[in-house]
Amino acid sequence: MAEGCVKRAFKYRFCPNDVQAAELLRTFGCVRKVCNLAPAARTEAWATRQERVNHNATSVMLTAWKKTEELAFLSDVSSVPLQQTLRHLQAAFTQFFGKRARYPRFKSRKRSRKSAEYTTSGFRFRDGRLTLAKMTDPLEIVWSSPLPEQTTPSTVTVSQDAAGRWFVSMLCDDLTLQPLPAADVAVGIDVGPDHLLTLSTGSTGEKITNPRHERRDRARLARAQRELSRKARGAGTSRAKARRKVARIRARIADRRRDTLHKPTTRLVRENQTLVIEDLTVRNMVKNHTLARAISDASRSEFRSMLEYKAAWYGREVIAVDRFFPSSKLCSVCGTLQKKMPLSLRTWTCDSCGTTHDRDLNAANNPYGASRRNPPRSREGRSQHQ
């Protein structure tokens, strides 16, 4: 890879013909089978012989499995996705033994993601046409955006989501992504249930409305889920059709959320050198059942993820302020900390300087100052922060 080059994945939809769809579904099934056989073999070796099985050993096992009558179908698909599955499994066990992840879990036929990864030996990409191993015809890809010039994919991942849509993701070296010129501009960002984002830009700040995409489809989703719940398990195509209907509605909501987040994150990264956000724990926040729906609809974790990887692309800096920093209760003018502030209070007046604050805008103005000093860690600040 060239110096300073960024690895970037480009994802597109495609429409396979019947032969390609059947081949891919067989490949997904074989990937899932290997992904379950290999951990079981590793677990058995450790439980019976206290032996750790590495990637090379599981690769030898895969060759032996293909020669058995029961698992001979593994030879019917390309070996590249199966070998990639073993490599990813080795990485998962490395993370587990390093105490950075949980023990690898088995893949479910109904619930697990259907995907297969091909390296350069498992596909051919010529003149903008992608042909996978074991296939004669190229995939009919919907090119929503062009690939970077003078680049070819290093890996290709084919997947099918719960809504039945087919996707292909191509990992390429993107030479067009270069650090932007340095700018002496910083912005504080506050996320909340009422507004998607509140920014400390300008004298009056800026608020970006939360579109609440889930609310727009809430009735339709509830109706589809009721229809699914009435279908008996094992009802065959009837239940499968109802499940896909629910999945399509959820996919539409997720797509709109993702599109809504891409636009402000790209703008913020391009316009500001430093971006200051709060280090919030969304997993704990959604335990509040009153706000869980609004918090989930804002996709806070995905917002931060987008902000961080785009900042890395363009040479910007993202600073996460301590989650216990009382940004809402701390006056951004004089620094006075208010004792109590219920979540229902959206506007308040500082007792010391008399400044009237919008709760969200004050929180957006505070993080940038907090990033330059040690945030308060007092018991009062921790217990009363909202």
* Catalytic residue numbers, as ranges: 190, 278, 360
Q: What is the spatial distance between Cα 301 and Cα 295, in angstroms, rounded to a whole number?
A: 10
Listing DSSP states for 288-321 in one string gives STTTHHHHHHHTHHHHHHHHHHHHHHHT-EEEEE
Q: What is the spatial distance between Cα 337 and Cα 188, in angstroms, rounded to a whole number?
A: 19
Do 280 and 320 contact (CB within 8 A), yes or no?
A: no
Non-local CB neighbours of 262 within 8 Å, separated by 6+ positions:
306
Beta strand spans in 73-160 (E): 114-119, 123-126, 129-132, 141-142, 155-160
Phi, psi of 137 (to 5 degrees): -100, 145
